[in-house]
Amino acid sequence: MKRKISGAALVFSFLFLLPLTTYAKQKTDMRPDYVDLNLFIGMEQLDSADWSPNDRMSKIGADITFVPSYFLADLVASLFYSTDSGTKDGLDMKTTLLEGQLGLKKNYVIDAYPEITPSLSGGLALVTYTNDFESATDGSGTGIGVFAGAGVVYTYNEKVNLGVDLRCSYVPVFDGDEYVNAGGITGGLLLGYRWSSGW
């Protein structure tokens, strides 16, 4: 059943991204090229039924967005590391997630406030998880799914980025007994730099 949900999520992701590419094509000649590189720090909430007691994770990562005027849409790639520790069945337990995301982003231009950039994004997500009970590894796995996100960035002096980012993802992984969702709801702050270029 969960594999069917995953397939439906992939179709939804494609339909979500299709209008983004169409709109971006209409405005490619109206903006300069630039690259945003942002660091992320925040939290991720997983499904407590699948991941308790480690369902509320600290999360750090990096996010890079390519904005080439000759392409149909902006490209976004992200890498995240999440971790949480707790006690389960009397044993210390640590859960870690390593997540990579690749997709498309729509940056909105506000004429009256060009330094403020709201955005929508979506694409594919790959997650590897590990559960460690004290000195033994209890389980690990890898899955692929989808993500969708929204955020806003304030760019100071056309160089320094400060923003907020919210994403949700669905990534089914097999934990040895059944499929669980290694995706969740992520929120946090962005701090980075914008490189302008004319390639």
The structure tokens listed for 13 are: 């992701």
pLDDT reading at 23 higher than 50: no
Reported pTM: 0.81
- Tell me what pLDDT residue 199 has: 44
pLDDT tens by residue, 40-95: 999 999 999 989 999 999 999 999 999 877 776 789 999 999 999 998 877 888 99
Percent of residues, the chain, with pLDDT higher than 70: 80
Residues facing residue 96 across a β-bridge: 83, 130
pLDDT at residue 115 above 90?
Answer: yes
Q: Please tell me what DSSP assigns to residue 70.
A: T
β-bridge pairing 172-174 and 160-170: unpaired
Task: For residues 72 and 74, give the distance between their C-alpha atoms in angstroms, rounded to a whole number.
Answer: 7
Q: Where are the domains of the chain?
A: 2-197
Phi, psi at 66, each rounded to 5°: -100, 130
Answer yes or no: is pLDDT of 1 > 80: no
Find out whether 188 and 165 touch, Cβ atoms under 8 Å. yes
Q: Domain 2-197: give its CATH architecture.
A: Beta Barrel (2.40)
The length of the chain, given as a count of residues: 199
124-179 confidence digits (pLDDT tens): 999 999 988 876 667 889 999 999 999 999 999 989 999 999 999 999 998 877 89
